[in-house]
Amino acid sequence: MRLEQILFSQGFGTRRECAALIAAGHAEVAGCIVDDPDHDVDTAGLVFAVDGQLWPYAERALVLLHKPAGYECSQKPRHHPSVLSLLPAPLRRRGVQPVGRLDEDTTGALLLTDDGALIHRLTSPKRHVAKVYEVTLKHPLDAALVQRLVDGVVLDDGPAPVRAAACEATGERTLRLTLTEGKYHQVKRMVAAAGNRVETLHRSAFGPLQLGDLEPGRWRWVDATQLEAPAGV
């Protein structure tokens, strides 16, 4: 693929802007500056650089962001900055979108991609993708609360009980909750229906993907095949 086309596909500007970047010596391939926009490059395993920033070629972008509090999962936020502002310009130009949403005050694992089919698969109720939440409660919890969340509670938008896939107490007022659905404000509403209140909420895992040492506000590339690994990997 021509280098100009590569930069364009990866979100580095219009075709003319990408050609100008290359001609001005801002692009490197295999550690060497390439100033010919028509230079042919093999995209298999390609990692190029623009102004010294390394960038892996990806036909579809998929990244994991450690969302901090105070950001909205929206392209047109109303009251707080968008999570998209935490990503570099090339990813924003590619039109990446959050896979599902986290509330403004909820922190943790958030996937973003420009692959519409992948977003549909990961958010489909039929997929049962597990999301793990670390919850701090207002009041001390007991075994009965945990059991109610596992057995199921009825929310105000439907008669069928909504159940946690797993739930365990991790402290006097903290628990770890695993859900495979994606209802609006689901964790907060389930906890309220079970007789307590959420004070803080953090998503520690999305399917098999965990944040690890990824700091708040930072992001990393994800290979889509990682999503097919067993949960907890």
Give the Å distances, CA to CA, from 26 to 13, 36, 52, 145, 173: 13, 11, 8, 58, 53
> What's the CA gap between 16 and 92, in Å, rounded?
19
Q: Is 78's pLDDT higher than 70?
A: yes
Q: What are phi and psi of 173, to 5 degrees?
A: -130, 25
pLDDT digits (tens, 9 = 90+) for 27-62: 999 999 999 999 999 999 999 999 999 999 999 999
Determine the straight-line distance between the first and last CA of the chain, rounded to whole angstroms: 34
**What domains are defined for the chain?**
3-56 (3.10.290.10), 62-125+208-228 (3.30.70.580), 131-206 (3.30.70.1560)
Q: Which of 38, 42, 51, 103 is catalytic?
A: 103
> Cα angle at 103 between 193 and 168, to 5 degrees?
50
Active site residue 103: yes
Q: Which of 196, 193, 67 is nearest to 135 (CA)?
A: 196
Residue 49 buriedness (CB in 10 A; 0-12 / 13-18 / 19+)? middle
Determine if the pTM surpasses 0.85.
yes
Percent of the chain having pLDDT more than 70? 98
When pLDDT is cut at 50, 70 and 90, the band that residue 157 belongs to is confident
Q: What is the mean pLDDT of residues 171-180?
A: 95
- Position 233 scores a pLDDT of 38
Q: Is 182's pLDDT higher than 80?
A: no
> Cβ contacts of residue 229 below 8 Å, gap of 6+?
208
Q: Is 126's pLDDT higher than 80?
A: no
